[in-house]
Structure 1
């Protein structure tokens, strides 16, 4: 009898693990991601209208926007985790966090280093941020809709363009970071809505 119970529990664990791998992660929603895109466009306008070309102003503005967006996303995910999640969904939350956390850490680290090194490093931040974010999307791809590859590819292409603009000294122009981040986040929001949220 004990052997049968252990076998049944092993089978349940196998099924549970299979569902965890095959069922897409549904914790992210299109609306909060679309808000992050809007914040990117707003930051672009703030930089263009009120801030001069001082690279430290660029750094403070975009670190502030990133911090705001991370905080809002974490509040949304925490509320969902505490009040609307099943055990399986919470496991996916943990897995997604572990996959994407290194990218958040790396993005914060390069910003910290840039603030210490100065303009020679800050001009590469837009490209580095896009590169790191794109790699983070690819790291999370097993838990996300297949089309999310397009979002990751967009960020890697944006990083390539921004590295070239850094060489030309134009990477900190307001439109660069605004459009790279704003359009990239809109792509993610569109994929989440189209593949996971819309009524079929």
Structure 2
């Protein structure tokens, strides 16, 4: 029983230590590439999507999000597998455990609302709010600027929900997420923990 208690106490100590250090699993170049892809997709939407087809809008931006997710998570997975020690891997699992529920909620909201054309204009705002909440959820493990960026996503999402154009332009998604990711890359790059790599 004493060994089990000691191990549980060590786990609690590790949990406290992980909260005190900045998570370095996100790669600045990957985050910047995701931002550039978002801006490119926003500019391309007008030529790629047929007008007046809300389901195409939801599908297009879901595909862009999956591409960005693959870029971002592949960098984090590579770091997890080849660069991190056990302590850093624990922190990665904790950060992902806090961030992924917001992404999953975004996917579920997309599936639920994309079926009805009238609800599709809500998606850009909801996506931004949920992504911002994910940023806020991981703030104990990230540079301080992440809290501000998360709040910015939530605010942008609230503005999009209040505006809600019947056919959202590409900048509603690509602008918010493209600029947001570029600012995130800048925030990560400007912190000592990320510059030292």
**Structure 1 residues 123, 19: closer, same or farther in 2, change over 3 A?**
same
SS of equivalent to 2:138: helix
Instruction: Return the offset for 1:90.
Output: 0.2
TM (norm. structure 2) is 0.89
Larger radius of gyration: 1
Instruction: Return the offset for 1:19.
Output: 2.3
**Match of residue 127 from structure 2:** 129
**Match of residue 68 from structure 2:** 69
**Match of residue 193 from structure 1:** 189
Structure 1 unmatched ranges of 5 or more = none
Cα deviation code 1:136-171 (max 9, x no counterpart): 1101111111111111111011112101221x535x
**Structure 1 residues 15, 103: closer, same or farther in 2, change over 3 A?**
closer
Instruction: Return the offset for 1:10.
Output: 8.2
**Structure 1 residues 56, 10: closer, same or farther in 2, change over 3 A?**
closer
Cα deviation code 1:48-104 (max 9, x no counterpart): 223232212211110001111112222211111111111110000110111011111
CA distance in structure 2 between the aligned counterparts of 1:134 and 1:61, rounded to whole angstroms? 21
CA distance in structure 2 between the aligned counterparts of 1:187 and 1:22, rounded to whole angstroms? 23
CA distance in structure 2 between the aligned counterparts of 1:71 and 1:145, rounded to whole angstroms? 23
Count of matched residue pairs: 193
**Match of residue 154 from structure 2:** 156
Cα deviation code 1:162-196 (max 9, x no counterpart): 01221x535x1122222111111111111110013
TM (norm. structure 1) is 0.87
CA RMSD, aligned part only? 2.2
The answer to whether the Cα contact below 8 Å between 1:20 and 1:92 also exists between their aligned partners in 2 is: yes
Pick aligned residue for 2:50 from 41, 49, 52? 52
Residues 11-26 of structure 1 correspond to what in structure 2 (within 5 A)?
16-26=14-24
CA distance in structure 2 between the aligned counterparts of 1:198 and 1:95, rounded to whole angstroms? 23
**Structure 1 residues 50, 87: closer, same or farther in 2, change over 3 A?**
same
CA distance in structure 1 between the aligned counterparts of 2:18 and 2:143, rounded to whole angstroms? 14
